[in-house]
Amino acid sequence: MALRKIIEYPEPLLRRRATEVETFDEKLLELIEDMAETMYDAPGIGLAAPQVAQSVRLIVVDKTVPGEEHQYLALVNPEIVAHEGNQLDEEGCLSVPELTAQVERFKKVTVRFRDPQGNEREIAAEDRFAVVLQHEIDHLDGVLFIDHLSPLKRNLYKKKRKKMLALEQNAA
């Protein structure tokens, strides 16, 4: 296992629709393990392959029960097949540094996906876990959580991010 670099906004790869995973092999299992290690190291509760510069439809999400060892779920080619209700929840993103905001999402979702061996599965989720799944699946379509914000909040963040990047370049 190895830590992977998490790419950050405005990296263009984050805006690209990821391709379907068609090969279920050791290379995929290695990517999954690397992503899980990277997610926990960050620390985060979800990570999409495009965030580690791999434009494939793969996400890992934390499913750890408090007081137990880290446990995660890898979802290959996930898609939301049913949803209901709405909720407002605070979100942040490892690829969108120094921003959290209230985002409206579905309260319940059903996600169809393939497991790392290629078997078709389905999972129903609600509340915070449903938010995490929606957030990560958005990444696979090139959508960032800032796209769910008002134009004013989004533009304020873009300006802040430009300043952050300029400061980083000047410091280098």
- Active site includes 136? yes
d(CA 112, CA 95): 25
Residue type, 7: I
Strands across the sheet containing 46-48? 46-48, 58-62, 72-93, 96-114, 120-126
d(CA 156, CA 160): 6
Who's near 33: CB < 8 A, 6+ residues apart? 1
d(CA 47, CA 56): 12
Which of 37, 91, 104, 136 is catalytic? The answer is: 136
d(CA 139, CA 42): 17
Tell me the catalytic residues: 136
